[in-house]
Every structure is written in structure tokens, then in C-alpha cells.
Amino acid sequence: MEMMAEARAEVRELGKRATPARLTTLLFLRSQARPASHAEVSRALEPLGFDKTTVFRNLNDLCEWGLAQKSELGDHVWRFEPSQSGSHRSKHPHFVCVDCGTVTCMDQIQLTRGSLETSRDIGKVTEILLRGHCNDCN
């Protein structure tokens, strides 16, 4: 498959071994519309014969190597999503519904000039997380 060959090349590029578990984990993340928890990825890959711990380690390794990103969205569970390939490889904002737990990836959320100054007094903002009630939940 096309995707698989591509993933293999990317992993090899980093000097890492292109194992089936690793490539499948990466492909799975890329197939999802939203960040996936370790439990979700495992649930999908265990039936294929991949071990839960191996998945766990690969998820974290992929993050360490820049191929994926890990975020804590407020429910004490890590969620993983593939890094943006092209333009913005940086973290993007997320919206989490406190009612149904749905996570939405957002582009270009900006703070007002005043807020930006305020935040600069404290530090350099690298990540924005919004929480609230999604339109479906109200």
C-alpha cells in the first residue's frame, strides 16, 4: 500500500526501525479525524495481533520523533494525533466538550492584542485549549 510505504520511508529516515506495529500505529493515527487515546488505538490494533504496551511505546516514540503529538485535553487521558505534514507542524488549538467529551481540532485561534500582552508578561504561549459545551450538546 501507498501509505504504508510512505510511513516506512519516514520512519527509516529517522534512523528507526520500520516495524509492523510502529507503521500500523502511525497509519492508524493518520486515519483518524480526531486525536485518539492509547486505549482507542490499542482497541483497534490488538485484534491485529499488536500488544497494548508496544502500541503505548510506539505512540510515545512517534511523539518524541516529531511524527505525532500528544495532548492532555482535560480528562486525564493522553490523546495522540499525527503531526501536520506540510505547512504548520506546530500544535494547533483544541476544543473539548465538557459534556460529551468530543474533541475538535481548530486552526488559527488568536488572542486579542491586550490578552497577548498580558500573556507575554507570564510566558510564551505555545498551546491553547478551549473547553465548553459543543453545539450538539446545547
Which residues here bind a copy of itself, judged by CB under 8 A?
72, 74-76, 95, 97-98, 104, 106-112, 114-115, 118-119, 121-135, 137-138
* Between 49 and 123, CB nearer to DNA: 49
* Between 112 and 138, CB nearer to Zn ion: 138
Taking CB under 7 A as the rule, does residue 37 contact DNA?
A: yes
Angle (CA) 69 71 73, round 5°: 150
* Between 49 and 114, CB nearer to DNA: 49
Phi, psi torsion values for 71, nearest 5 degrees: -140, 155
Smallest separation (angstroms) from Zn ion to the CB of 133: 6
- DSSP code of residue 87: S
Residue 81 backbone class (left: φ over 0; alpha: ψ -120 to 50; beta: rest): beta
